Amino acid sequence: MTTTSRPGGFTTPGRAPDVVVVGAGVVGAACALAAARAGLAVTVVDRGAVAGGTSSGGEGNLLVSDKPAGAELALALHSLGHWEDVAAYLEDVTGRPRGGIELEHKGGLMVAARSETMTTLEGIAAGQRALGVEVVRVDGDALREVEPHLAAGLAGGMLYPQDGQLQPMLATATMLAAARRLGAVVRTHAEVTGLVRTGERVHGVVLAGGARIEAGQVVNAAGPWARQVAAMAGVHLPVMPRRGVVLVTQPLPRLVRRKVYAAEYVSNVASDAPGLESSAVVEGTPAGTVLIGASRERVGFDPSMPVAVVRRLAAQAVALFPMLAAARVLRTYRGFRPYSPDHLPMIGADPRAPGLVHASGHEGAGVILAAGTGQLVAEILTGAPPSVELTPVRPERFEGVAG
């Protein structure tokens, strides 16, 4: 078989790939790996580096606790199982435990300051249990048995043993490396400036400089930039950036055992408000540092680091864990979540542009939903029946809706 040399030093078979994945973040990487494992020839393109966008600006959450009963929770539970499969596959490939992506199910603890909030949390938990989520009520006087350094006087909490975390940049890079072992091509610093189209049908991408990559199908996994990619096909995909800030402390003894957050976090996630919303989210990492979030605000792609938000998050974290008052913040970082107006991702083939498959709009759930999204996209690409009902997340559901 003849080969052609591509810019960036990659050599690939001369035939066109079966699929081009636009986006080398955690969702794009999961799509690429699942497609490659399904036997498809895959090319991944990204205008930046691997995990250089949203995947480098998050905490790596694997949360079912913050999702009330509904379509997103069903997707999350589906995807949690697929992460186990991906981790086992990566372990076989790399020889490192669970692929070396720092995947751990350490559990999550949602805490309430007032007794009336506990009543609300019990109602949410009842719906979650019906879908298979494990939830354990923790009364206020038992909270410190679960997290010894929590502030005194809290009303109680809900413990979610299935909640976990991974290192998103490691996961992204490792999945792409595994996909390359299966023949996938990864082209970084290759900006997509257009789509190859015949009428409405999409069958490739155009890169900056005019180079074309022909492909049977194109996957739009461009995160908060997915709207722009969809527009190249003449279709509307109302994905918007929602900025979030994370603080990283100095390495500490493992003082925070789980992911711990205030109950207000759930309402912040579900909010449509464009202005700043924040609530304490605190968790330790295998490296010993403590991650502190979470903020949400729609400010476009404003890259600044808002000092007022940093101070607010620090104060909220100290209110939850007073011992953090003495900890130094080593650094801060921010990222842009791909916000969807109904807080559900957009996954599926776009009937308005045959050949184009979307995998975006996951907002803050991109990491937990990535493995399952990759599997669903591989099923779509190969014509297999979807393993989860896709009607609630069909990408064309916003047709005719401004936003």
180-208 confidence digits (pLDDT tens) = 999 999 999 999 999 999 999 999 999 99
| pLDDT band, very low/low/confident/very high, at 397 (cuts 50, 70, 90) | very high
| pLDDT band, very low/low/confident/very high, at 399 (cuts 50, 70, 90) | confident
| pLDDT band, very low/low/confident/very high, at 268 (cuts 50, 70, 90) | low
Find out whether 214 and 204 touch, Cβ atoms under 8 Å.
yes
My answer on whether 244 and 297 are in the same domain is yes
pLDDT value of residue 169:
96
Percentage above 90 pLDDT, the chain: 85
- Whole-number Å distance between alpha carbons of 31 and 199: 26
Mean per-residue pLDDT over the chain, rounded = 92
Helix (H, G, I), strand (E, B) or coil at 55: helix
Q: Give the burial class of 11: count Cβ atoms within 10 A of its Cβ; 0-12 exposed, 13-18 middle, 19 or more buried.
A: exposed
The whole-number average pLDDT for the span 113-119 is 91
Q: What are phi and psi of 308, to 5 degrees?
A: -60, -35
Q: Answer with the residue of higher pLDDT: 111 or 267.
A: 111
- Position 250, amino acid: Q
| 290 closest CA partner among 257, 241, 338, 334 | 257
My answer on whether 247 and 147 are in the same domain is no
The whole-number average pLDDT for the span 212-230 is 97
My answer on whether 168 and 82 are in the same domain is yes
My answer on whether 170 and 278 are in the same domain is no
Find out whether 219 and 31 touch, Cβ atoms under 8 Å.
yes
The whole-number average pLDDT for the span 50-76 is 94
- Whole-number Å distance between alpha carbons of 326 and 227: 43
Task: Count the domains in the chain.
Answer: 3
| pLDDT band, very low/low/confident/very high, at 4 (cuts 50, 70, 90) | very low
Residue 3, domain member (yes or no) = no
| pLDDT band, very low/low/confident/very high, at 15 (cuts 50, 70, 90) | low
Residue 21, domain member (yes or no) = yes
In the DSSP assignment, the letter for residue 395 is G
Residue 7, domain member (yes or no) = no
Domain boundary among 291, 324, 339: 339
Of the listed ranges 6-15, 81-90, 380-389, the least confidently predicted one is 6-15
The whole-number average pLDDT for the span 290-310 is 92
My answer on whether 174 and 312 are in the same domain is no
CATH number of the domain encompassing residue 291: 3.30.9.10
| pLDDT band, very low/low/confident/very high, at 269 (cuts 50, 70, 90) | low
**85's torsion region: left (phi>0), alpha (psi -120 to 50) or beta?**
alpha
Domain boundary among 289, 318, 339: 339
| pLDDT band, very low/low/confident/very high, at 16 (cuts 50, 70, 90) | confident
Domain boundary among 135, 159, 183: 159
My answer on whether 262 and 134 are in the same domain is no
Per-residue DSSP letters for 337-401?
A: EEE-TTS--EEEE-TTSTTEEEEE--GGGHHHHHHHHHHHHHHHHHTPPPSS--GGG-GGGGTT-
Residue 348, domain member (yes or no) = yes
CATH number of the domain encompassing residue 218: 3.50.50.60
pLDDT value of residue 278:
84
> How many other CB atoms are there within 10 angstroms of residue 297's CB atom?
18
**52's torsion region: left (phi>0), alpha (psi -120 to 50) or beta?**
alpha
Residue 354, domain member (yes or no) = yes
For 135, the domain range is 108-159
Residue 205, domain member (yes or no) = yes
Helix axes 71-94, 26-37, angle to 10 degrees: 70
My answer on whether 270 and 121 are in the same domain is no
Q: Is the pLDDT of residue 14 over 90?
A: no
| pLDDT band, very low/low/confident/very high, at 12 (cuts 50, 70, 90) | very low
My answer on whether 227 and 332 are in the same domain is no
The whole-number average pLDDT for the span 336-347 is 96
Q: What's the gap between Cα 374 and its chain centre?
A: 12
Find out whether 82 and 387 touch, Cβ atoms under 8 Å.
no
Contacts of 209 (CB under 8 A, 6+ apart): none
The whole-number average pLDDT for the span 227-249 is 96
Q: Answer with the residue of higher pLDDT: 84 or 7.
A: 84
My answer on whether 255 and 183 are in the same domain is no
Per-residue DSSP letters for 289-334?
A: -EEEEEEEB-BTB-----HHHHHHHHHHHHHH-GGGGGPPEEEEEE
My answer on whether 32 and 71 are in the same domain is yes
My answer on whether 68 and 175 are in the same domain is yes
pLDDT value of residue 274:
77
Residue 5, domain member (yes or no) = no
Residue 302, domain member (yes or no) = yes
My answer on whether 30 and 151 are in the same domain is no
